[in-house]
A = this chain, B = another copy of it.
Amino acid sequence: MIYLDNAATSFEKPNIVKQAVNEALEKYTANPGRSAHNHSIDVAIKVFEARERVKQFFNAESEERVVFTPNCTTALNYTIFGSIKEGGHVITTAFEHNSVLRPLFELQRQRKIDLTILYPDKDGYFLPESFEKSIKKNTYMIIVNHISNVTGTIQKIGEIGAICKKYNLLYIVDAAQSAGHKKIDMQADNIDILCFAGHKGTFGICGSGAMVCSNKVILKPHMFGGTGAFSAEVLPQVTFPESFECGTVSTIPIISLSEGINYVANNFGAIQQKLDTLTDYLIEKIENLPIQKLYYKNNCHGVLSFNFENIDSGYVGDILNEKYDICVRTGLHCAPLVHQYFDTIEQGAVRVSIGYFNSKEDIDALYDALTDIYKSSAIKKY
């Protein structure tokens, strides 16, 4: 099997992550919480260690503001619904995932917010000046994805952050595709809330993710329940991280993320170099094929999408899967505005996404398979 679907989740997890899950299954299955027994405290210590590692990796301001969530979508929902300013204005981009677009469109539908969606320049960038030009009196938030899950475009999050700082806007970065792949420094980039999935570039298992907030962020909880704190009050004050982690936390997914992010931190130079090299190699190879590009050659990292003429992307994906055991993802990738922009809303696109455990040989195999497919009678029949 050749796995090129890392943007959905990283298939292979480092051994250290698997070992940590196994250890946790034996030792860390109690429920963490305050004023409790040793076995519970043992788990609470592991969860706190996870907060410290996440804080350090992204240069966040404090461990308490690392909120663990079951996935990036939950983190983004908590962020968007928790920070609503009714009658306010939000700026985002056409390259966002549905986990950003759908909450924002829902708020727009409820007439709670006004929304501006920016479109990219010829290199796939959303320019800082285009954000600046769109700012209105009632703008309170800018949300940007760091790396697109369709095109692999990388946004200049530091420059956009500087605009947010200048205008005192809440700045949200969706790092689903970039966390663990690209350096993110929350303080240097002026990021107020960073949302990421734990099971992609940071090698946790599915069920892990986080919302990391700066100290200045004021957020209303989107869900309510037991937090282990203020148990006597039915309408307690908001505290980080408890108010945003109500109910039993996903201890084993959190522990897996903790080990995964530690692994990434210890191998970050090699990971970045590998992804840079493989992205370049992938582009070099794939550009030999007669494809429609859903990516920007000079602004691409780890992910890209393409089509052969008007051939349904799912059809190409199925052949790659069945005949070559190559895993890619086809369709719309939950990012409808990207596909509207490229006029591929019907066709979708074939998405290739690489990870640290891929090799040049994987890309060669993909290239050979795509060449075969394009030349084959299979595609002629279509």
Residues of A within 8 A of B (CB): 1, 3, 5, 8-13, 18, 21-22, 25-26, 29-31, 33-40, 70-74, 76-77, 97-99, 101-103, 105-106, 109, 197, 199, 205-207, 209, 222-228, 231-236, 246-253, 314, 317, 320-321, 325-337, 339, 345
Contact = CB atoms under 8 A, between A and B. Distances in A.
A15 B142 CA distance: 48
A87 to B, nearest CB: 17
Contact of A231 (B39, B109, B334): B334
A264 B314 CA distance: 40
Given A30-B5, A330-B35, A98 B231 contact: yes
A225 B75 CA distance: 11
A248 B197 contact: yes
A109 B234 CA distance: 11
Contacts of A197: 247-248
Stoichiometry (number of copies) = 2
Given A247-B99, A252-B206, A332-B232, A225 B73 contact: yes
Contacts of A236: 102
Given A29-B12, A31-B8, A253-B250, A226 B73 contact: yes
A8 B247 CA distance: 10
A235 B21 contact: no
A106 B236 CA distance: 10
Given A38-B321, A251-B206, A231 B33 contact: no
A234 B222 CA distance: 21
Contacts of A26: 18
A317 B40 CA distance: 12
Contact of A223 (B39, B77, B101, B249): B77
10 contacts: A37-B317, A37-B329, A38-B325, A70-B70, A99-B247, A101-B234, A102-B236, A205-B251, A228-B334, A231-B331
Given A12-B29, A77-B223, A330-B35, A102 B231 contact: no
A202 to B, nearest CB: 13
B249 A206 contact: yes
A249 to B, nearest CB: 7
A225 B327 contact: no
A73 B223 contact: yes
A98 to B, nearest CB: 4
Contacts of A40: 5, 8, 327
Nearest to A75: B247
A193 to B, nearest CB: 16
A225 B345 contact: no
A225 B76 contact: yes
Contacts of A232: 332, 336, 339, 345
A-B pairs with lowest CB-CB distance, top 8: A73-B247, A226-B334, A207-B250, A99-B225, A73-B225, A102-B224, A8-B31, A231-B332
B103 A250 contact: no
